[in-house]
Amino acid sequence: MSITVVNSVAQLNSLTTNPAAVSVIDFHAVWCGPCKAIAPVYQKLAGQYAGRVQFLKVDVDQVPDVAQKFNVKAMPTFAVLRGSAKVDEMAGANPAGLSALIAKHAPAAGAGASASGSGSQDKGLEGFVSLNSEIDQSQVHCLNESAEHPLKDMLRGGDDKWLESDADEQLLLHIPIQQSIKLRALRFTTNSSHAKHAPRTIKVYVNNPGVDFDAAEGGGAEAAQEIVLDEEQARGKKVVELRFVRFQNVKHLSIFVADNQSGGDEDVTRIDSLELVGLAVEGTNMSDLKKLEDE
């Protein structure tokens, strides 16, 4: 998703007319070193939350009226709006803090930009939020993925991006997390026109980045949970709830997809999106801070 540069108060007003939509504004300046350092993080989050959060940028020197409207006193400052009203803000170049700020207010995947509250809206998941911003997308990988439709593309999002298996219906997703999370649920989505290709039986492993197909199939690695997805769960209409007590300190998530909804008739498994739902464990992403200090 592109980031919209705001050049006037009038333009900002026109972009924030929907009272339920969530927007984030990056108040920055060309002379501000920390602003430049955190810009790639902001860009990455814009892609991660495409279609759910509107990302805006305001140069405080070029558009002082907008900066004054929100009483901006330091750069960078990130303001969160619901409609045209500011509901939260954060000052400073803190990647972990920025990720947490946006995750706090972003509608869950599938809820769209018109979600009326923050976090997941599924029954029983009140107070939990999407944690996809905590995924270390540079390190994710998937065994038996199609070269044309890999896991990394699927996580970036978009109608033309999905994860697809290669030689047979099995997949083994390895998802490193930037900082520890408490995982409450997963949401798999597969387009209804490919319902037979949606995942069915999955095993979920916590903090076991070395698990391979042999260990997953033969039981050489102990799964935190094994689940058979029904049709609604496979299409994203309903989340896959996890045994929360087993997912309290997740730093690496592995998901083994054993088969798909076709019952053996289709060799290809397809996942259009995957959402992690839970809570971030309080802490600081030291690797991101180090990158900023090195700038």
Decide if pLDDT at 125 tops 60. yes
Decide if pLDDT at 121 tops 50. no
> Is 142 a residue of the active site?
no
Decide if pLDDT at 18 tops 60. yes
CA distance 109 to 132: 10
Decide if pLDDT at 112 tops 60. no
Within the chain, where are the H helices? 9-15, 33-48, 64-69, 95-105, 151-156, 213-218, 231-235, 286-294
- CA torsion 185-191-192-195 (nearest 10°) is -70
Residue spans per domain, the chain: 4-105, 129-280
Q: Which residue has the tokens 């593309």?
A: 153
CA distance 182 to 128: 10
Q: Is the pTM of this model over 0.75?
A: no
Residues 192-227 pLDDT 10s: 899 999 999 999 999 999 999 999 998 889 999 999
The correct answer on CATH 2.60.120.470 for the domain covering 129-280 is yes
Residues 154-205 pLDDT 10s: 887 666 789 999 999 999 999 999 889 999 999 998 988 999 999 999 999 9
- pLDDT value for 178: 86
CATH code, 4-105: 3.40.30.10
CA distance 27 to 48: 20
Residues 139-148 pLDDT 10s: 999 999 999 9
Q: Tell me if 4-105 shares its fold with 129-280.
A: no
CA distance 228 to 203: 9
- pLDDT value for 204: 98
CA distance 254 to 213: 11
Decide if pLDDT at 284 tops 60. no
- Using DSSP's 3-state secondary structure scheme, residue 93 falls into coil
> Is 32 a residue of the active site?
yes
Mean pLDDT of the residues in the chain:
86
Residue of 32, 41, 109, 257 marked active site: 32
Residue of 35, 56, 234, 280 marked active site: 35
